[in-house]
Amino acid sequence: MWAKMFFVHLKIKTNKKWGWFCMSADYVLETRNLVKEFKGFTAVDDVNLQVERGTIHALIGPNGAGKTTVFNLLTKFLTPTRGTILYNGNDITYMKSAAIARKGIVRSFQISAVFPHLSVLENVRIALQRNEGNSFHFWKSEKVLDKLNDRALELLDEVGLKDYAKAITVDLPYGRKRALEIATTLALDPEMLLLDEPTQGMGHEDVGVVADLIKKVSANRTILMVEHNLHVVAQLADKITVLQRGAILTEGDYATVSQDPRVREAYMGVEADDEVANAIAAETAAANAAKKEDVA
Amino acid sequence: MKINKLYLVLFLLALVAPMVLYPVFLMKVLCFALFACAFNLLLGYVGLLSFGHAAFLGTGGYVTGAMMLHTGMGPEISILVGTVAAGVLGAVYGKLAVKREGIYFAMVTLALAQLAFFFYLQSPFTGGEDGMQGVPRGSLLGMIDLSDNTNMYYFVLAIFIFGFWVVHRTIHSPFGQILKAIRENEPRAVSLGYNVNDYKWVVFIISSALAGMAGSTKTLVFQLASLTDVHWHMSGEVVLMTLLGGMGTIFGPVVGAGVVVTIQNYLSGGELGNYIHIIMGFIFIVCVLAFRSGIVGELQKIMKKNFG
């Protein structure tokens, strides 16, 4: 039921901008007054986002709220109309995608981003190869890459894909492709991961597996993710930012955000009635239980 | 091991071929096979459809022809200069073209190739419509007389093997891995930190230089460089050869070039000469509709099904 509500498209009067100006916190990624306009349509409107080091930060919002646009701005697949993006305090607003990837921000995509007709092992090796400095060497045999195999197998083992190393990626089921994508990303040892709807289009079991994987890889890393599945958000996110029509509606932890009447209105279009409030309460309780289990 | 044996058998066949078949015909096949291999490096392994490869074939041809006619250099130097010239042109064209993707890449390369076409049409040194005629073959290292067709054949075969080896090496190199990654999923390659345009540019240069090498060799074989080689028909023909043989396979372009050249030779002599384009077009349609992975691609599928 909760999931359905996410797809309800609606109007809302509230459009209050929200800023968090605690100067003391340690931000890995920060945007200041970020704006993206497409021919007069403002997809992202004055967004001030702060992602704290070592946290899992979720970006949620109804369809068309501008989540993916924000994502593409952060990873330089789009250029902002105005505003700045800071990474560890450095301005990266006009850097190229490939350059910020080398600086340590690696993104995933809504549709699993793998190299379908290469083997599973080769997929991971492509990422490992980047730091080898031989990726322009067209006169060498690819056998020089074999020394990366051990490390690649290690990474595959981490996501439970070691036995599939020789398989052609296109033959893997969807959940495993997602796992492979994460292994490939980890091969770069990024400081920050941007995950675009990591559990989208997955069956129930796969969602659990991927959520666990995200939890596992979040150690010593910062993660910013766009996610539709509130179960996953409740279970993983330390902080949630709700986007609504391109602007930040509210921010906070799951309990705060899920109790905010404006968030409910954004998702449902009307002031939430008791039934919905109960549903949310149940969801929160379940999520908290899940979190405790996790700790235990 | 299996593939090595296959190479050995093919090599031996190539050695004895001129005793059975007409050497000039074989040389023509080899030149076009090299051209198609160069083209396939872009289309089959990076997914870039260049519609202007005739410019590089023609540039190699004209430059080599001019070298042989006016400088008195040997064939080996002339071919080298022709190859480098095509590579330099490829570096300029490639730099502009790789900024665009898909159909736009094809259109940019076509437009740039047309520039080259009209340049060669207007320039006095090319002989315009008449072409550059009477190019001497010279003698290899001043010792082996290339006007003898058999000698020339083995020289062309050596060049072809070298070009084929370069393509093979490039595909199976660390660089080739990145190319395949770009072909498979370009945004992902970017997000892993690769500047994909730089990789596309380098492979474009390799491909255009090899196409130039094919053109240079072809000029020596026929002792003629003409506008046909720079015309956009030629750019289309190489697409046909590659698709027919099987793009993205190492032997596909060779087989495709062999089939196309054979059909053309056979038809142009007979009564059907006037219908050659209709027949080629029909073959192209059948190929695209019925067996999209080309001759070699389909054979590989059958092999995999039955033996793999």
H-type alpha helices, chain A: 2-6, 67-74, 97-103, 120-129, 149-158, 174-187, 204-217, 230-236, 254-259, 261-268, 274-295
Tell me the residue length of chain B.
308
Establish if A244 belongs to a structural domain: yes
* Chain A contact set for B202 (CB, 8 A): 136, 138
3-state DSSP assignment of residue B277: helix
Q: What residues pair up with A250 in beta bridges, in sequence order?
A: A242
- Phi, psi angle pair for B242, to nearest 5°: -65, -45
- Contact status, residue B193 vs residue B38, Cβ threshold 8 Å: no
Residue B9 lies in a domain: no
Q: Nearest CA to CA, how far is B185 from chain A (Å)?
A: 6
- DSSP three-state, residue B140: strand
pLDDT digits (tens, 9 = 90+) for B220-235: 999 888 888 899 989 9
The first and second tokens of residue A223, run together, are 């993660």
* Per-residue model confidence (pLDDT) at position B263: 87
pLDDT > 60? residue B239: yes
The torsion angles phi and psi of A36, rounded to 5 degrees, stand at -130, 120
SS3 state of residue B289: helix
Q: ipTM, 2 decimals?
A: 0.80
Chain A residues in contact with B196 by the CB 8 A cut-off are 98
Beta bridge mates, A248? A243
Asked, for residue B85, whether it belongs to a domain, the answer is yes
Strand, helix or coil for residue B48: coil
Asked if A23 and A57 sit in the same domain, the reply is yes
Task: Work out the pLDDT band at B308, boundaries 50, 70, 90.
Answer: low
List the single residue in B173, B185, B192 with the smallest CB-CB distance to A141: B173
A43 in any annotated domain: yes
Report pLDDT for A131.
Answer: 82
Residues A20-29: pLDDT tens digits?
A: 343 445 888 9
The total of structural domains in chain B comes to 1
Is the pLDDT at A287 greater than 70? The verdict is no
**Number of H-type helices and E-type strands within chain B:** 13, 4
Distance in angstroms (rounded) separating the CA atoms of residues A263 and B2 = 64
Cβ atoms of A158 and A98 closer than 8 Å: no
Residues A279 and A197 in one domain: yes
Residues A100 and A10 grouped into a single domain? yes
What b-and-e string marks burial along B51-88, b requiring 16 or more CB atoms within 10 Å of the CB? bbbbbbbbbbbbbbbbbbbeeeebbeebbbbbbbbbbb
Residues of A in contact with B194 (CB under 8 A): 98, 130, 135
Q: Which of A254, A221, A218, A232 is nearest to A53 (CA)?
A: A221
Q: What is the pLDDT at residue A25? A: 59
Residue-wise pLDDT for B83-138, tens only, equals 999 999 999 999 999 998 889 999 999 999 999 999 999 888 888 788 888 888 88
Closest by Cβ to B192, choosing from A126, A136, A139? A126
Measured in angstroms, the CA of B276 and the nearest CA of chain A are apart by 37
Q: What is the largest CA-CA distance in chain B?
A: 58
For residue A135, give the nearest of B170, B175, B203 by CB distance.
Answer: B175
Query: Which whole number is the average pLDDT over A132-156?
Result: 86
Closest CA to B234 of B83, B27, B57: B57
Q: Do B188 and A114 touch (CB under 8 A)?
A: yes
In a domain, residue A177? The reply is: yes
At residue B271, the pLDDT reads 74
Among B181, B191, B194, the residue with its CB nearest the CB of A107 is: B191
> By a Cβ cutoff of 8 Å, what residues of chain B touch chain A?
169-170, 172-178, 180-181, 184-185, 187-196, 198-199, 202-203, 206
d(C-alpha A131, C-alpha A82), whole Å: 33
B184 and A135: CB-CB below 8 Å?
Answer: no
Which residues have a Cβ under 8 Å from the Cβ of A57 and sit 6 or more positions away? Answer: A51, A222, A223, A224, A225, A237, A238, A239, A240, A241
Say what the pLDDT of residue A259 is: 81
| Whether residue A150 is found in the same domain as residue A23 | no
Predicted local distance difference test score (pLDDT) of residue A10 = 33
Q: Which chain B residues are within 8 Å of A75, Cβ to Cβ?
A: 191
Interchain pair B169, A117: CB under 8 A: no
Higher model confidence: residue B292 or residue B120? B120
| Residue-wise pLDDT tens digits, B153-204 | 999 999 999 999 999 999 999 999 999 999 999 989 998 889 999 999 999 9
Chain A residues in contact with B181 by the CB 8 A cut-off are: 115, 118, 126
* Rounded distance between C-alpha atoms, residue A236 and residue A233, angstroms: 5
Residues A99 and A149 in one domain: no
Say which residue the tokens 């997809």 belong to: A43
Residue A286 is predicted with a pLDDT of 62
CATH of the domain at B110: 1.10.3470
Task: Judge if A81 and A126 occupy the same domain.
Answer: no
In a domain, B89, yes or no: yes
Threshold 0.90, pTM exceeds: no
Question: In a mutagenesis test of the A interface, which of B46, B162, B173, B180 is the best target, namely the one with the most A β-carbons within 10 Å?
Answer: B173
**Domain assignment of residue A109, yes or no:** no
- Residue numbers in A near B190 (CB within 8 A): 77, 97-98, 101
Residue A96 falls within a domain, yes or no? yes
Q: What is the pLDDT of residues A185-219, one digit of tens each?
A: 888 888 898 888 888 777 777 788 888 888 888 88
Region A63-86 average pLDDT: 87
Q: Using a pLDDT cut of 70, give the percent of chain B over it.
A: 99
Model confidence pLDDT, tens digit, residues A215-236 = 888 888 899 998 878 888 888 8
Give me the domain span that covers residue A156: 116-189
Burial class (CB in 10 A: 0-12, 13-18, 19+), B252: buried
Domain stops at, among A151, A170, A189: A189
Is A37 a domain residue? yes
Contact between B191 and A113 using a beta-carbon 8 Å cutoff = yes
pLDDT at B276: 81
What are the b/e assignments for B171-189, b being 16+ CB within 10 Å? bbbbbbbbbbbbbbbbebb
Residues A77 and A217 in one domain: yes
The answer to whether residues A37 and A166 belong to one domain is no
Cβ–Cβ < 8 Å for A46, A57:
no
Residues in chain A closer than 8 A to B178 (CB atoms): 126, 129, 135
**Inter-chain residue contact A98 with B194, CB threshold 8 Å:** yes
Instruction: Encode pLDDT of B42-76 as tens digits.
Output: 999 998 999 999 999 999 999 999 998 888 788 88
Please list the residues that pair with A245 across neighbouring strands.
Answer: none
Same domain membership, residue A219 and residue A93: yes
* Residue B51 domain-assigned (yes or no): yes
Query: Which of B162, B169, B183, B191 is best to mutate for the A interface (most A CBs within 10 A)?
Result: B191
What residues form DSSP beta bridges with A82?
A35
Residue type, B182: I
Structural domain contains residue B5: no
Q: Which of B185, B203, B205, B247 to mutate to test the interface with A (most CBs of A within 10 A)?
A: B185
Note whether A146 contacts B: Cβ–Cβ < 8 A.
no
Q: With both helix axes pointing from N to C terminus, report the angle between A120-129 and A149-158 in degrees, rounded to the nearest 10.
A: 110
How many domains would you assign to chain A?
2
Higher pLDDT, B202 or B301: B202
Do A202 and A275 belong to one domain?
A: yes
Q: How many CB pairs under 8 A join A and B?
A: 101
Q: Note the pLDDT tens digit of each residue in A150-180.
A: 889 988 988 888 889 888 998 888 888 888 8
Q: Which of residues A128, A155, A189 is at a domain's end?
A: A189
Residue B94 included in any domain: yes
Which residue segment(s) compose the domain that B243 sits in? 21-307
Nearest Cα residue to B166 out of B250, B43, B261, B59: B250
Per-range mean pLDDT, top range of A102-106, A262-266, A274-278, B136-140 = A102-106
Cα–Cα distance, B228 to B225 (Å, whole number): 8
Question: A-chain residues within 8 Å CB-CB of B173?
Answer: 137-142
Taking alpha carbons only, the member of A251, A231, A249, A232 closest to residue A241 is A251
Which has the closest alpha carbon to B186: B101, B244, B304, B103? B101
Q: What is the pLDDT of residue B238?
A: 93
Task: From A166, A189, A212, give the residue that closes a domain.
Answer: A189
The Cα B150–Cα A54 span in angstroms is 72
Alpha-carbon gap, residue B56 to B213, rounded angstroms: 9
B199 CB neighbours in chain A (<8 A) are 135-136
* Burial class of residue A174, CB neighbours in 10 A (0-12, 13-18, 19+): middle
Same domain, A199 and A223: yes
How far is CA A168 from each of CA A128, A164, A172, A187, B44, rounded to the nearest angstrom? 18, 8, 7, 19, 18
Q: What is the SS3 assignment for B219-238?
A: HHHHCEECHHHCCHHHHHHH
